[in-house]
Amino acid sequence: MIRSLLVVFALSAAVVAQSWESPSKAQMDNIYPGIESLYMDLHRNPELSLHEVKTAATMADNLRKLGFDVTTGVGGTGVVGVLKNGNGPTVMIRAELDALPVPEKTGLPYASHVMTKDDLGADVPVMHACGHDLHMAVGIGTATLLSQNKDRWHGTFIFVGQPAEERIRGAAAMLKDGLFTRFPRPDFAISLHDTADLPAGKLGYTPGYALANSDSVDVTIYGKGGHGSAPQVAVDPIVIAARTILAWQTIVSREINPQDPAVITVGSIHGGTKHNIIPDEVHLQLTVRSYKDEVRQHLLDSIERIAKGEATAAGAPKAPLVQVTESVKAVYNDPALTQKTADALKQIFGADNVVQEPPAMASDDFAEYGRAGVPALQFSLGAVNPEEFRKAKASGGKLPGPHSPFFAPDREPSLRTGIEAETAAVLELLRK
């Protein structure tokens, strides 16, 4: 039985609910080969954040062929496609353009073998290890179905191809470049993200906070260098760093309400060059995660307070340098929009295939669109072969997920489910 892309809904209290016809299976089958070919081409030819020139051109070309009014170069390499279809709401979808500096190890026949130089001039491999190629292909599939079925919706549909999600810069750059002022301001913003936590064919949603605030913090602790055999005439920044790292862990355990999730992870520590030399300084890199803004601020303030306190206690020659180098706010899924979309998807895919998920401590700059005042929703697309997923669950094994060099979505069911789900979510808001 063909699943419907549109849902049963009540026209009014006095009108019996009626079923809307979806784009036919023949339509989906007709567009699928082209979408699959696009997906594999994007996968073979990834580009790093802020360098998505060819990827952006591919998105723009596909949208123009569908009749969209296309603008390129928004916020860098960003692409905005606008399809107007009479009066009605404006709905935006976001697809990310960028890939990661990861060597692909999937063994796929369409695997990436791209090598390029990063912003520091180093040679690095490039892979769509986070599924942004899947998101783009699904988005073009959605745009195709909407362009072919304009008699079934009204309003304005906007496709946003966003650069630099992996460096949490692209959304802010597009907004600064007038995404919500130069183009129709959306009434709703939607995105999907693939996941290894669900099998292909299943979808996930999280009302409210879904992904975390993320702050990258760099800390330099200063000391007084000297010979390792005479520590009494030096001030050892390695010891200060060690005490500081341990003290930071008490921020979460003793300063934050246990009901408020928070994470402080020191991912990098660099100091010294030789066994018997006390260095002048130590460099630390932290990732800090939270949901609530007030918790985020407390974490950042306490990290600096403790670093300075430990340095003072050790007699350091000067206070540490604490810098927040990258930040992105938490993704907050508008509860009403989330419930409306989830209800529609459950009617299409079945309640067992649309599941509520707990919030995660990962991050995504899709948050910026919601923070700009637009009701927003990011939902999850299962991307793992169902049999492999079942076996892993039974054995307790861990499947490769986004950012792994072995991550490869189950191509056809992921693409088909993604297109159907994203189209349904848009049509639920734009239906006649």
Q: Tell me the β-bridge partners of 168.
A: none
pLDDT number for residue 375 = 98
In this model, does residue 2 exceed pLDDT 90?
no
DSSP for 63-122, please give it: HHHTT-EEEEEETTTEEEEEEEESSS-EEEEEEE--BBS----S--TT----EEE-TTS-
- CA-CA-CA-CA torsion sign (172, 173, 174, 177): positive
Average pLDDT over the chain reads 94
Give the whole-angstrom CA distance, residue 74 versus residue 56: 10
**Positions marked catalytic:** 98, 165
- Supply φ then ψ for residue 41, to 5 degrees: -65, -45
Q: How far is CA 142 from CA 30, 39, 126, 150, 196, in A?
A: 13, 14, 27, 12, 22
What tens digit of pLDDT does each residue of 240-289 get?
999 999 999 999 999 999 999 999 999 999 999 999 999 999 999 999 99
Residues 205, 356: contact at Cβ < 8 Å? yes
Give the whole-angstrom CA distance, residue 278 versus residue 399: 43
pLDDT number for residue 23 = 63
DSSP-based helix, strand, coil % in the chain, nearest 5: 35, 30, 35
295: nearest Cα among 413, 208, 235, 214: 214
In this model, does residue 58 exceed pLDDT 80?
yes
Q: Where are the alpha helices (DSSP H) in 215-292?
A: 237-250
The helix/strand/coil state of 326 is strand
Lowest mean pLDDT among 17-31, 36-50, 147-161, 306-320: 17-31
Please state the rounded mean pLDDT for residues 389-417.
Answer: 96
In this model, does residue 365 exceed pLDDT 50?
yes
Give the whole-angstrom CA distance, residue 195 versus residue 374: 25
- Supply φ then ψ for residue 53, to 5 degrees: -70, -55
The helix/strand/coil state of 270 is strand
In 346-400, the DSSP E strands lie at: 354-356, 376-384
In this model, does residue 410 exceed pLDDT 70?
yes
What tens digit of pLDDT does each residue of 204-213 get?
999 999 999 9
Domains and CATH numbers, the chain: 25-212+330-430 (3.40.630.10), 213-328 (3.30.70.360)
Q: How large is the angle between the packed helices 53-65 and 25-44, nearest 10 degrees?
A: 160
pLDDT number for residue 18 = 34
Residues with Cβ < 8 Å from 86, sequence gap 6 or more? Answer: 154, 155
In this model, does residue 7 exceed pLDDT 50?
no
pLDDT number for residue 26 = 86
Please state the rounded mean pLDDT for residues 306-317.
Answer: 98
Q: Residue 29: how many CB atoms within 10 A of its CB?
A: 10
19 band by pLDDT with thresholds 50, 70 and 90: very low
The amino acid that residue 276 corresponds to is: N
Q: Is 421 exposed, middle or buried (0-12, 13-18, 19+ CB in 10 A)?
A: buried
Instruction: Give residue 211's Cα distance to chain centre.
Output: 9
80: nearest Cα among 66, 98, 59, 65: 59
In this model, does residue 21 exceed pLDDT 80?
no
